[in-house]
Structure 1
Amino acid sequence: MPKFTLDNTLPKNLPLLFKERAKANPDVGLQASKDKDGKFQTFTYQTVYNNVISFALALQEIGIVRGENIALISDNRREWLISDLAIQSLGCADVPRGCDSLGNEIRFIISFADCRYGFFENARQLKKVTEKIEEVPLLKTAVVFEPLSKEDEELISQYKDLKIYNFEELLKLGEELYSKNPEENTKKIENEMELTQPEDNATIIFTSGTTGTPKGVMLTHKNYTVQLSAIPDFIKSKKGDWWMSILPVWHSFERFIQYVAIYFVNGLAYSKPVASILLGDMAVIRPQWICGVPRLWEALANGVNKAMVKKGGITLKLFKFFISVGKKYANAKDKVLGHVCQVSKRNKFLDAICGILPMILLWPLRQLGDVLVFKKIRDKFGGRISIAISGGGALQKDVDDFYRAIGLNLLEGYGLTETAPVISFRYYKEPRPGCVGAIFPTMEVKILPEENGVATSKEHLGSGKKGLIFVRSEQVMKGYYKRPDLTEKIIDEDGWLNTGDLGLLTFDNEIKITGRAKDTIVLLGGENIEPAVIESELCTSPYIESAIVLGQDQKYLGALVVPSKENVIAFAKENNLDTGDYEELLKTKEIIDLLDTEIKTKDSTENGFRVCEKIYKFALLPNSFTVGEELSAKQEMMRYRIVEKYADIIKTLF
């Protein structure tokens, strides 16, 4: 692994970084956004900087003062970045959330974070707040990005205590203020930028809403700038490169990428993570970079496979053949170059000897496959992408193998919202499949022995030994907003943060994730799920004794359910079902339908659960969980024991 160097020239906060880049590169494109006709319009660094200055002036005019927490409820779009930088320029922190959030989540966050001001993508997002306006007593002003219809204006006008502005209206107000004395007003906002200290909050990101313990992660400007200082060794981007921005920008991963783009003087083109839309936009923008969650990469790979199956015949046979060749060539090349995940100590010389002959023999076929198949696939991504990034969840091996086969270097990273977010990242010159990359040079990592998710010692285990992953860095959050009790549980007195993940350090000092010690489930789409709340709700059913929700790195949630034997048998007798063999009874359509109805009723939108929190498949277990097997002495479920014991059944759910 090479020695990494840090960029120590960065300013003390994010707005000052943006100012530096904009002043030095005024004519480079920063944003590409679709107009009403669906055509991309480009906005330069100078234009966006002027927008930020003007918008910040307008925000001051309507009463925003340093230290405010300001709700920002929107998906990725041009106005989001302008708002984010303007808010930070005034020494405030934004509190972001996406448009797929439920009303009770948004209201909770706005109230808990003490927001007097809120920015909303459209009327639909604002209505999620106004439908129960009494739950957000501090909110006095709303800014809406999209114009309101007359019907929406009439509906919302009844809330006399809520002042509502349109984004363009405020931007125009700011431009009018700016035009009165451009130099003085620019200096006014730039002076505000200078006042913001590295330890000041840049954002508060809530990792779980009302369906879990409320945790507002306070991330400072220093958390981000320290991380940016390590980026040049991991990403070799050139001024003027373009990124496709498709993931929810309120997520820590995509948000950091926005700042990475500014750091490199790159542009952001806004699209949607829908294959038909994304591929069309990529053909227009021809980006050099794209970030996605594992589900996106899987969907794109599946799309290619389905297209080939549809063509059938010789085309399908050639595709399958060259994909197989591509995978074998990539594996052989990894051995030759030493790009193998060293979970145990390996003889790299022997690996190289074993890989060199297959690599040489497969090379001509691999080149032919590139001409006939692979280049055509890569061209669908715009033709200029050689490296892509995956984060927000574990990348499935078959998906990773597919992109390696076609010659697209898919770099996987690992991180948490609490670490702003990157802990490790595959080094582009030495990508090792099966690992989540080299440890960021700004990050310390140690592996501790654990039992049931709790560290049993502070002694680092060393390479090749599985344990609980702890990290320490200036990237680590300031803490959870208004929850010092939760902060103390995750960060110890020496500053080490318990990631809740199980893993090991390879003999190349890279991280391999082996499981999770904490309960939070991360789906392939990057959604964070707190299973305990769903399980608790399920167990309010008279027909459910116990339930464990599963789905780590899957597309959807599944569950193992232990029915209430007494009540199920009573139901069976009432419906004239044979109760002689309980295990056979659980296989009957009537009992399966009964439990299906109970699960759908409990795990429903009406009970406050999001679509991504719904259970799509379940399996019934005949025997109760017992102490020493599935339960601890405290009668708590030992999730990893359950996952190991019922592994075969769990496989059928996914």
Structure 2
Amino acid sequence: MSNTTLKNFKNLAQLFRDSVQTHQNEKSFLTKNSKGIFDGPTYGELYNDALSLASYLIENCGLKPQENVGLIADNRLEWILTDLAVLFSGAADVPRGSDATIKDMEYILSHADCRIVFIENSSVFKKLNSIQNKLKNIEYVILMDGTPDIYKEQKVLSFRKILEEGQTLSKDKVLARIDQIEPEDLLTLIYTSGTTGDPKGVMLTHTNVLSQIRNIPLELTKDEKILSILPVWHIFERIFEIISITFGCKTYYTNIRALKEDLQIVKPTFMASAPRLWESIFQGIQSKVQGMKGISKLLFIAALKTNRIRYNHVSVLKNLKLKLIPESFFLSVFKKIDSFLILSFVILPAKLLDGIVLKKVRQATGGHLKASVSGGGALPLHVDELFNAIGIPVLEGYGLTETSPILSMRTPEQLIVGTVGKIFPQTEIRILDIVTGKDIYPGPNPFGKKGELIVRGPQVMKGYYKNPEATEKIFQDGWFKTGDLGLMTANSYLKIVGRIKETIVLSNGENLEPVPIEAKLQESPLIESCMVVGQDKKFPGVLIVPSLENLKQYGNDLNSICKNPEVKTLIRTEISKMISDQNGFKSFERIGGFSLLDRSWEKGEELTAKLSLKRFVITEKYSKQIDRIYENGK
């Protein structure tokens, strides 16, 4: 479907209806059956089932246009069916994962005025049932999987049963509603994590999401196989669900436990991913190298080294190297001559070792992966460089839930490591000096200077639901304040360097960005996770979860490892070596102390669903360990 064709639709339901007619015989969303084989409906069958479900909601539940419908479930066929049924009804869904806390469920379903709610299983039902006296609006609970129970003296509805009943109903009302949906009508209401307060409901419209589909710089066809692993209720993963329907791709639902096996079964050509996935694979490669011996280890290390050199110098020759400030013509020519000479020596051994060693690494992803788009957090530079050098293109993108989400994205043809690509068409950005508020970009000397990133474009949300104060606070004269620190490179690519609220201000007034320090430390095979602390302190400290896998010779569990004096010495030496002048860190960025933690960080606890750090939660939870860092001094 061309961008010209996409311009003819005023809402997402019309786009889907048209796309399904084109791809009705293609398989759509597939899950593993009881035999472990991926299977699922064609697009034609998916469309008819969605119409049937929508008919039931309208006729039997009285679903009205622009009503909010709760959807608490993870990646599965019933999720996308519910999403489409609510969409075709002219309503908006309010999605959340099955790991939603009772507190979040209570707040979100009440705040969004949900009268109808779809839930995944009996586990979610138990949480919902425990707060039924606080959810006054809910009239219908629809269970996707499990045995229906009683909710407020009324039987919970079975998803399969209402789908069957809906197939006998007329589809006329649904079809009429599709054409009545206006571009600025609410499509979805996504609540942010709310780690420092109540979640805020991000209102995304049909216009917001259609702009993403029109402007995303990917050439996809119906032959693509897309592996779905990120939480589908996040807008980043959901955009790829929408892209699948738009272009008739096949989407395969998997999870982190089955990922290794499913990569081999599906052999995907594309997938959305989060930085934590690539960090995990990177750590796996490190562990594998450490466990190797003799010629195998030498070959693997040589393959990685020569291909990183090859990739680096090919990038220089193709003008795909990060440039923070403009270079003179003569310097540019000199660098290219230098790269050409180095490349002439390394190209043959790099290709030979690639065929012997790195081809096997690529096979671990199925061997057909054209690229993976990484979002939901910053991709550490060492991880970024490694996978692109190996031949697994990682296209880092940038955006927020409030921007539907993508504002910029790298492409296979314009892949500059260390950046998040070029700004999307129809999108404007400004970079403001944090102190003065004046424009750095655009400006007379706009390159290489960091500041607050603000944006304006068709993907920017309508506002926060029933929260005009928060909406007004986040907008500045029509520009959305991202809260991120960014800079524009000399080759006109955006680079994100941190979050304003993540910035640590030391007692001497120095501003410190924790992310680059954390990224460097996590290059170490001894460190599983870490978080830099030090707000209003004399020096930065760091909380560290040691790597059980790579330190098991010092203890059987993390508790014994953390108590081992040798481990503390090893970690202290590692920190000093990595956060040093030689690696580009300033004196005030040197780590003055650390604390070892005897349990791994988990999703829903210290980590968000996207596996990024919940800094506020970690700071509160490990306050005693942080205090100990500063009690001991340097």
For normalisation by structure 2, the TM-score amounts to 0.79
Separation in 1, partners of 2:288, 2:596: 38
Rounded to whole Å, the distance in 1 between the matches of 2:605 and 2:457 is 40
Checking the alignment, whether the CA contact within 8 Å between 2:205 and 2:462 is kept in structure 1 is: yes
Partner of 2:249: 266
Say whether residues 1:372 and 2:327 are aligned partners: no
Q: Matched residue of 2:166: which SS?
A: helix
Rounded to whole Å, the distance in 2 between the matches of 1:81 and 1:203 is: 13
State the match for 1:245 in structure 2: 228
Give the Cα separation in 2 of the matches to 1:360 and 1:10. 51
**Residues 1:118 and 2:100 aligned together:** no
**Conservation of the 8 A alpha-carbon contact between 2:428 and 2:457:** yes
1:195 to 180, 200, 203: 180
In structure 2, the CA distance between the partners of 1:560 and 1:507, relative to structure 1 (3 Å rule), is closer
Which residue does the alignment assign to 2:563?
none
Partner of 2:327: 346
Code of the aligned partner of 2:485:
L
| Alignment of structure 1 residues 117-516 onto 2, 5 Å | 117-148=116-147, 153=148, 156-157=149-150, 159-160=152-153, 162-177=154-169, 185-209=170-194, 211-231=196-216, 234-274=217-257, 277-347=258-328, 348-451=332-435, 455=437, 460-461=442-443, 462-493=446-477, 495-516=478-499
Supply the distance in 1 between the matched residues of 2:531 and 2:115 (Cα, whole angstroms). 36
Say whether the 8 Å CA contact 1:549–1:558 is kept in structure 2.
Answer: no
Say if 1:556 and 1:420 are closer, same or farther in 2 by CA, change over 3 A: farther
| Native 8 Å contact 2:6 2:15 kept in 1 | no
Cα distance in 1 between the residues matched to 2:392 and 2:596: 45
Matched position secondary structure for 1:503: strand
Deviation (angstroms), 1:130: 1.2
- Number of corresponding residues: 540
Give the CA deviation at 1:459.
Answer: 7.6
1:497-646 to structure 2, matched below 5 A, reads 497-518=480-501, 555=529, 557=531, 559-560=533-534, 613-614=617-618, 615=621, 618-620=625-627
Matched, 1:47 2:45: yes
1:12 corresponding residue in structure 2:
10
Q: Tell me which residue corresponds to 1:641.
A: none
Cα distance in 2, alignment partners of residues 518 and 561 from structure 1: 11
Q: In structure 2, what residue type is equivalent to 1:433?
A: V
Kindly state the Cα deviation for residue 491 of structure 1 after the two structures are TM-superposed. 1.3
Does the 8 Å contact 1:287/1:382 carry over to 2? yes
The AA in structure 2 aligned to 1:175 is: Q
Task: Call closer, same or farther: CA 1:455–1:106 in 2, change over 3 Å.
Answer: farther
1:561·1:621 contact (CA, 8 Å) conserved in 2?
no
Give distance in 2, aligned partners of 1:508 and 1:549.
Answer: 24
Q: Helix, strand or coil for the counterpart of 2:295? A: helix
Per the TM alignment, residue 460 of structure 1 is displaced from its structure 2 partner at its CA by 3.8
CA contact (8 A) 1:426 1:438 kept: yes
Distance 1:596 1:299, change over 3 A: closer
Deviation at 1:427, TM superposition (A): 2.4
- Give the distance between the partners of 1:133 and 1:249, measured in 2 at CA: 26
Give the RMSD, CA atoms, in angstroms: 3.2
Name the amino acid aligned to 1:380.
A
Structure 1 stretches lacking a partner, 5+ long:
178-184, 522-530, 532-547, 564-591, 625-647, 650-654
3-state SS of paired residue (1:176): coil
Query: Counterpart in 1 of 2:19?
Result: 21
Deviation at 1:8, TM superposition (A): 5.0
**CA spacing shift, 1:26–1:8, aligned 2, 3 Å:** closer
Question: Which residue of structure 2 lines up, in the alignment, with residue 628 of structure 1?
Answer: none
Q: What is the rounded CA distance, in whole Å, between the counterparts of 1:214 and 1:549 in structure 2?
A: 26
Q: How far apart are 1:349 and its partner, in Å?
A: 3.0
Instruction: Give the secondary-structure state (helix, strand or coil) at the position aligned to 1:110.
Output: helix
Letter aligned with residue 275 of structure 2: P
Q: 1:536 matched to which residue of 2?
A: none
Is the Cα contact below 8 Å between 2:414 and 2:421 reproduced in 1? Answer: no
Q: Judging changes above 3 Å, is the alpha-carbon distance between structure 1 residues 412 and 10 closer, same or farther for their aligned structure 2 residues?
A: farther
On the 8 A contact 1:52/1:86 being kept in 2, the answer is yes
Which 10-residue stretch deviates more, 198-207 or 363-372? 363-372
Shift in alpha-carbon separation, 1:342–1:458, aligned structure 2, 3 A? closer
Residues 32-52 of structure 1 deviation map (CA, whole Å, 9 limit, x = unaligned): 111133221132111111111
How does the TM-score come out when normalised to structure 1? 0.77
Is the 2:13–2:88 Cα contact (8 Å) retained in structure 1? yes
Counterpart contact for 2:430–2:439, Cα < 8 Å? no
Partner of 1:568: none
Identify the residue that residue 82 of structure 2 maps to in structure 1: 83
Partner letter of residue 420 of structure 1? S
1:550–1:457: structure 2 CA closer, same or farther, 3 Å change rule? Answer: closer
Taking the aligned partners of 1:263 and 1:513, their CA distance within structure 2 comes to 30
Change in CA separation of 1:459 and 1:317 when aligned onto 2, cut-off 3 Å: closer
Q: Report the AA paired with residue 166 of structure 2.
A: G
Partner of 1:544: none
Offset at residue 621 of structure 1 (A): 7.2
SS of match in other structure, 2:453: strand
SS at match of 2:485: strand
How far apart in 2 are the matches of 1:611 and 1:165? 37
Deviation at 1:562, TM superposition (A): 8.6
Q: One-letter code of the match for 1:291?
A: A
Q: Give the letter for the 1:100 counterpart.
A: D
**Structure 2: gaps spanning 5 or more residues:** 505-511, 520-528, 538-592, 607-611
Is 1:470–1:496's contact at 8 Å kept on the other side of the alignment?
Answer: yes
The share of aligned pairs that are identical, in percent, is 33
Are the aligned partners of 1:203 and 1:218 in contact in 2 as well (CA < 8 Å)?
yes
Q: Is the 8 A contact 1:386 1:407 kept in 2?
A: no
Specify the alignment match of 2:63 in structure 1.
Answer: 64
* 1:322 CA drift (Å): 0.5
Between the aligned partners of 2:628 and 2:442, the Cα distance in structure 1 is 39
1:361-382 deviations in Å (ceiling 9; x for gaps): 2111121122101111111211
Task: State how far apart, in whole Å, the 1-side matches of 2:475 and 2:3 are.
Answer: 27
Following TM superposition, by how much is the alpha carbon of 1:270 offset from its aligned partner in structure 2, in angstroms?
A: 0.2
One-letter amino acid of the structure 2 residue matched with residue 620 of structure 1: D
Q: For residues 269 and 304 of structure 1, do their structure 2 counterparts lie closer, same or farther at Cα, with a shift above 3 Å needed?
A: same
Q: Take 1:391 and 1:473, find their aligned partners in 2: how far apart are those partners?
A: 19
Secondary structure in 1 aligned to 2:449? coil
Report how far residue 163 of structure 1 moved.
4.5
Q: Distance in 1 between matches of 2:146 and 2:530?
A: 35
Q: Which whole-Å deviations, capped at 9, do the CAs of 1:525-575 have from their partners, x for residues lacking one?
A: xxxxxx9xxxxxxxxxxxxxxxx9977977565644899xxxxxxxxxxxx
In 2, Cα distance between equivalents of 1:484 and 1:562: 32
Which secondary structure does the structure 1 equivalent of 2:334 belong to?
A: helix
- Residues in 2 aligned to 1:611 and 1:500: alpha-carbon distance in whole angstroms: 16
Amino acid at match of 2:134: E
Contact 2:141-2:151 at 8 Å conserved across structures: no
